[in-house]
Amino acid sequence: MFGKKNYLLNCEVCDTRKMKEEDYSSYEKMIINADVVVVSEKSKSILNRLPLTLNHDCIIEVGEEVDVPIKTINGSYEITGATMVQDHTLIIVNGTLKIHPNTEEVLKKYERIHVNGSVQCPKSLEGYLNGLTVNGAVSMYPDDCVILDDSFLLGKYFPLRAKAGKKYYAQNEVIIQDRTVDLEKLIEKKAAFVTKKLILPEEKVETCCELFDEDVEFVVVPEGMNLHYGDVVLNETLLEKEGGSLFLYGDMELEDGCDMVKLKAAVQKIIVKGNLKLYKSQEKELKTMNLEYDKLSYKWEGRMIENKPAVRIDNVLLESSPNKVLVKNAAMIKIAEDVTAELILDRLVIENAAKVSCKEEQESAVAAVAKNVAKIGNTDGTDQPDFMEQMKNMLSTKMINADRYVM
């Protein structure tokens, strides 16, 4: 029906080294979307002569005769001295890459290391990372460190297992939640820690000064308060378990329909080092509690329609809702023609939509209540040719979706 005039390739790795110009010269437009593009001197010249739009994170130039093994990792990956790898390997890590000390010879074998995430690496290997590209953070740690979890909970058994004279590294923070942890034993073993932040009980501050450098940020839990690390829902069950004096390092949400009178009676003091989320109607009672927080945000109390391919908004929906109606994460939203601009402004909120279809008189009101909407258009049929043109373009396009593609 339609001749193939366009070419669209979506892939993680595109190897262009074996491509022939005559296979692609008939296309009017070409688009290649790839994380990594492998080229040779010859294929670079061909690509420059084609009607090509190339969207990529990095380009690797390798000779045509070189075999490039490609490995993709989704999640965490570690490079150690025992890692088996072929020469000229290209590795793509979608997650966290941890590089261990004494891996110089292993790193030399990689043609390129591409990371969509974060990298941890010993400082001594910084000069071996010329082939590294990262969409994220790179953290360098002292070579003599043992790598711990990024957020490490220092439990009561760790001092027994710690090795004498060792230095330990946690990328984000170390948390001391258990007050019975024998830190003196770590001092006896001459252990030390390298991290950005330490969360600890007030009575442990003096001891920890001998274990952590002076540039570590101390987050101190006041004496008599229990530390909870992580997000929680505030209810009677939580307070029965943790106690009424709580230091929370994380976000806290008030439970729907909780008995605020009983909750108030059980709370002695709560400090939230994070975001407190609640309904607007709960705020008055909340202010009567002994509660401190870094940030306050409100949960949506009206009607919500979300994660739908198509949504129709009419007078019945808006007028029968006691509060505003929130429509979010919808591909297509169509507003009935008899809905007034005043009702839209008074009752409707739109977030994250591909298109809102409405008549011209409604457009300004829709724009005022919408956030992250790609297109606000009319419903008089004038957008039909756009749809037909899109269908025609799809039929005349050769489309390829692959993890790895050799052209």
Residue type, 93: V
H or E element, residue 226: strand 226-229
> Which residues, 6+ apart, have CB-to-CB distance to 81 below 8 Å?
100, 102, 103, 106
CA distance 352 to 36: 30
CA distance 324 to 298: 14
Residue labelled with tokens 């007030």: 202
> Which residues, 6+ apart, have CB-to-CB distance to 311 below 8 Å?
305, 327, 330, 332, 333, 334
Q: Which residue from 117, 113, 118 is spatially nearest to 133, judged by alpha carbons?
A: 113
Helix (H, G, I), strand (E, B) or coil at 128: helix
Q: What is the pLDDT of residue 249?
A: 93
> 407 near 16, Cβ under 8 Å?
yes
The length of the chain, given as a count of residues: 407
HSE-CB at 205 with a 13 A cutoff on CA atoms is 9
Q: What is the pLDDT of residue 184?
A: 94
User: Any alpha helices (H) in 94-225, and if so which ranges?
Assistant: 104-108, 158-161, 183-188, 205-208
HSE-CB at 216 with a 13 A cutoff on CA atoms is 26
> Which residues, 6+ apart, have CB-to-CB distance to 28 below 8 Å?
5, 6, 51
Q: What is the pLDDT of residue 307?
A: 86
Q: What is the pLDDT of residue 135?
A: 83
> Which residues, 6+ apart, have CB-to-CB distance to 234 below 8 Å?
252, 253, 254, 255, 258, 263, 270
CA distance 331 to 177: 45
> 303 near 321, Cβ under 8 Å?
yes
Q: What is the pLDDT of residue 175?
A: 96
Q: What is the pLDDT of residue 3?
A: 56
Q: Which residue from 154, 79, 74, 155 is spatially nearest to 116, judged by alpha carbons?
A: 74
DSSP state of 382: T
Q: What is the pLDDT of residue 393?
A: 60
- Intra-chain end-to-end CA distance of the chain, in Å: 26
Long-range contacts of 227-235 (CB under 8 A, 24+ apart): 227/175, 227/177, 227/199, 227/201, 228/177, 229/151, 229/153, 229/175, 229/177, 229/199, 231/274, 234/258, 234/263, 234/270, 235/263
Burial class (CB in 10 A: 0-12, 13-18, 19+), 366: buried
- Token reading at 388: 């037909």
Residue labelled with tokens 């202010």: 287
CA distances from 359 to 306, 313, 328, 362 (A): 23, 13, 20, 6
Q: Which residue from 65, 74, 67, 12 is spatially nearest to 37, judged by alpha carbons?
A: 12
**Residue ranges of the chain with per-residue pLDDT less than 70:** 1-4, 379-395
